[in-house]
Each structure stands twice: as C-alpha cells, then as structure tokens.
Amino acid sequence: MSDSGTRAGSSKAKPLCRALAGERLARPPFWFMRQAGRYLPEYRALRARAGGFLELCLTPELAAEATLQPIRRYGMDGAILFADILLIPHALGQSLDYREGNGPVLAPVRDAAGLAGLDACRVEARLAPVYETVARVADALPGEVALIGFAGAPWTVATYMVEGGGSPDHRHAKRWAYSDPAGFEALMDLLVRATIDYLAGQVRAGAEAVQLFDTWAGSLAAPEFDRWVIRPTARIVAGLRARELEVPIIGFPRGAGLRLADYVRETEVDALGLDTGTPAAWARNALADGVCLQGNLDPQLLVVGGEAMLAEARALRRRLSGGPHIFNLGHGIVPETPPAHVEALSEMLRDEALEA
Ligand code: CP3
C-alpha cells in the first residue's frame, strides 16, 4: 500500500474522499450497502412505476431518483449508484430476469459454446444509461456527498452467470474452474475487461470512488482465491490506474477471513470493506497501515434498532478509531429494516464525534 491514499483527485474536501485518501476523521463518514431498496416505501413506489427492476436500473431518471432517496432522508456521506452487479451479464447478452421473491434468474453459461453466445461488442452501448444515471446524480448531489460507483467482482458475477442465479455452493462454477481452468479463465478475462470499461465509464461520468462487490469470495479454497479473487481484482485496479483515472477503489471480498491481508497487499485496493464476521479490532491491527477500513455493523442490528444498535455502532467506531474508517454495515440493509432505525443510526453517526 506504499503510495495509496493519494488518489482522491478533485473531491478531496468531501469527508468520504478524505477517509479514502487515508485521513482519520473525528466524525467518520458513513453510508450503508443497499441504502436504496425495498425497506423504503418511496423505493417501492418508484419500483412499481418502473414496471421491472431492470427497467428501473436502465432508466436514468428513475435510477437517479432511487440513488438520491436515502440521501434526502438520512444525509449519508456517500451515495451509491443505483444499479446491479448483473447489468454486465445482461449487457453481454445473457438473458436475465428478476423474479419477485426468487432473486435473479439467468440462462446459465457453462462452457465454450455458452461463452461464444456472449457478445462483448454491445456492452458499452447497453451500459450507457448507467453512465447517464451517474452524471445526473453527480449534478444533483449536495456538495459534501460523494458519489460511489460499483461493479461486481468477476468471481461473484461469474457464479451468477454459471449457476443461472444465486446458489448455496457455486458448484457448477467451481467444477468448471477445476476441470477446465483455461475455459473458465476465458470467462473471467471477459469479465475483467468489461468491468474495467464499465468502472472507467462511471468515473468519467462523475463517480468519485468505486466499490468491487465480491460477495462470494469466501467460498473458494486458497489457490482458487488467489486465481479467481485476487488476480482479477488486481487486474481491475491496475487497469483503472493505467487509464490514469484518479479514483479510490474499495474492495469488498466478503468471507475472505484470513486472506484479507493478502487481498489488500496484492490487489492494491485503497480501502477494504469488512464483512460482518471480521473482527474490526483485528482488522485494524493486522492490515496494512493507512488502509481505509469500511464496515461492519451487522445489518440485523438495524432491524432490531434501539440501544442495542446504537451501543454496538459506537463500540465499532471506537474499535476502528486508530486509522481511517468509513462506517458501514457488514452486508446490505435487509428489506425488513424499519426506516426509523436507519434514521436513528444516521443521526448518531452525523451528530456524535469520536472522543479525542
Ligand atoms: O443501494 C445500493 O446498495 C445500490 C444498489 C445495489 C443493488 N444491488 C440494488 C438491488 C447494489 C450495490 C447491489 C449489489 C448486488 N447485487 C450484489 C452484491 C452485494 C450483495 O448484496 O452481496 C449482488 C450479489 C447482487 C445481485 C442481486 N440483485 C441479487 C442476488 C438480487 C436479489 C436479492 C434481493 O435482494 O432482491 C438483486 C436484486 C436487487 N438489487 C434489488 C435491489 C434494490 C431488489 C430488487 C427489487 O427491487 O425487487
């Protein structure tokens, strides 16, 4: 992490960008994964107006509104682009449908023939509405709020593409990777290149930081973690920097556990998103000095609310107070979360500074 912490570019004054640049702030900035979504009544109304989830993601006016809804209510320091990690498979021409209650359903790609059916040429045109959403949000955001772009990391996106949706064990993706590593590598290479273009497009449109969601990083054995999590992530980080895009990159390798130190060192991300199970005090001590840590309140505490939530949030800020910290959850807000609990937590995070 030698020269990390200096890449916040023109947005250095915003608290979130300062933390990403390595600054320890008396009031750590905050945002929440899945801060837009079904727990908000105004999101449900917008979703109904859009018709479908994909339509919502790909209609800039509506996606910009979904991005801004939680900011208006709660005043977070970061707005995360409203989109989905599966827009890249969709842009590659893989059929994708979001079914109420069942999550995403895709036509599985499991071999060279499936790969040949994908069309990399149309990706940029099909993702153009997302860049327009970014530009609209960048124009509309209050001056102190940073805009965060994102993509799924290649391994996590590949699990959905190969399984045809969510799965408990990613068996088809793993079996393809073990039995035909060169074939699986071709899929991963396609995703790495599309993801660099996609994130570069978001940054050019106004994103001031980007997060790579590797939700299923923790399901891989060690050599495969190196090959399918660390290596593709390092290529994306290097690819963005080679284009001279001054953007801090947040990695979120969920479930990575003992591999977090390797992940930070070898990918050269600027910040690390901690999942719920990672002990925050351990992370502060064990990981590279100066790396910004983001996380990691249990989203279920936001369902419970009250003193249980506030006391643990305060304790978590203290555990991470030895270095740059962006307060967040350990995974996304769940739909059952009462909006009033998000308000109470946001108020505490806005109004209370750490003791010196
Ligand atoms: O507020 C935000 O965080 C920004 C928007 C965002 C969404 N998905 C919106 C969404 C982000 C950053 C994501 C990331 C995402 N999408 C991940 C990685 C993070 C994680 O949660 O682990 C993954 C694995 C996906 C894929 C995905 N999209 C699934 C598995 C599902 C179905 C499960 C569910 O929660 O419904 C989605 C749909 C989805 N993505 C919704 C939202 C608001 C719900 C769709 C609806 O409105 O019905």
Q: What is the pLDDT of residues 202-224, one digit of tens each?
A: 999 999 999 999 999 999 999 99
Which of 31, 34, 55, 71 to mutate for ligand 1's pocket (most ligand atoms within 8 Å of CB)? 34
Ligand 1 neighbour 85 (Cβ under 6 A): yes
- Please confirm, yes or no, whether 38 is among the known catalytic residues: yes
Q: Is 82 in the pocket of ligand 1 (CB under 6 A)?
A: yes
> SS3 helix, strand, coil % of the chain, rounded to 5?
55, 15, 35
State if residue 126 touches ligand 1 by the CB under 6 angstroms criterion: no
For 90-99, b/e burial (b = at least 16 CB within 10 A) is: bbbbbebebe
**Predicted local distance difference test score (pLDDT) of residue 101:** 78
Which of 33, 56, 57, 85 should be mutated for ligand 1, with most atoms under 8 A from CB?
A: 85
Q: How confident is the model over 275-311, as pLDDT tens digits?
A: 999 999 999 999 977 899 999 999 999 999 999 999 9
Contact 345, 314 (CB under 8 A): no
Known catalytic residue at 34 = yes
Whole-Å CA distances, 314 to 35, 207, 311, 348, 351: 20, 29, 5, 9, 12
In the reported structure, the alpha carbon of residue 84 is separated from the centroid of ligand 1 by a whole-number distance in angstroms of 6
Task: Point out the catalytic residue in the list 24, 38, 241, 350.
Answer: 38
Tell me the CA–centroid distance for residue 356 and ligand 1, in Å: 37
Q: Is the CB of 33 under 6 A from ligand 1?
A: yes
User: Catalytic annotation on 47?
Assistant: yes
DSSP H or E stretch at residue 71: helix 60-74
Instruction: Indicate whether residue 9 lines ligand 1 (CB < 6 A).
Output: no
- Ligand 1 contact, 218 CB (< 6 A): no
DSSP string, 151-211: EE-HHHHHHHHHHTB--SS-HHHHHHHHH-HHHHHHHHHHHHHHHHHHHHHHHHHT-SEEE
- Whether the CB of 38 sits within 6 Å of ligand 1: yes
What is the residue type of 342? V
Q: Of 43, 74, 131, 160, which residue is the catalytic one? A: 160
pLDDT tens digits, 52-103:
999 999 999 999 999 999 999 999 999 999 999 999 999 999 999 998 878 9
Token duo for residue 80: 């995360």
pLDDT band for position 4 (50/70/90)?
A: very low
Return d(Cα 30, Cα 52) in angstroms, integer: 30
The residue with greater pLDDT, 7 or 67, is 67
CA-nearest of 156, 154, 229 to 198 is 154
CB of 103 sitting under 6 A from ligand 1? yes
HEC string of 216-235 equals CHHHCCHHHHHHHHHHHHHH
pLDDT band at 6 (very low <50, low <70, confident <90, very high): very low
Cα–Cα dist 91/93, whole Å:
5
pTM across the whole model: 0.95
User: CB within 8 A of 48, min separation 6: which ones?
Assistant: none
Most informative mutation of 47, 62, 68, 84 for ligand 1 (most atoms within 8 A of CB)? 84
Give me the helix-helix angle, 231-242 and 181-205, nearest 10°.
40
What's the pLDDT band for 5 if we cut at 50, 70, 90?
A: very low
DSSP at 257 = G
Name 343's Cβ contacts closer than 8 Å, sequence gap at least 6. Answer: 73, 74
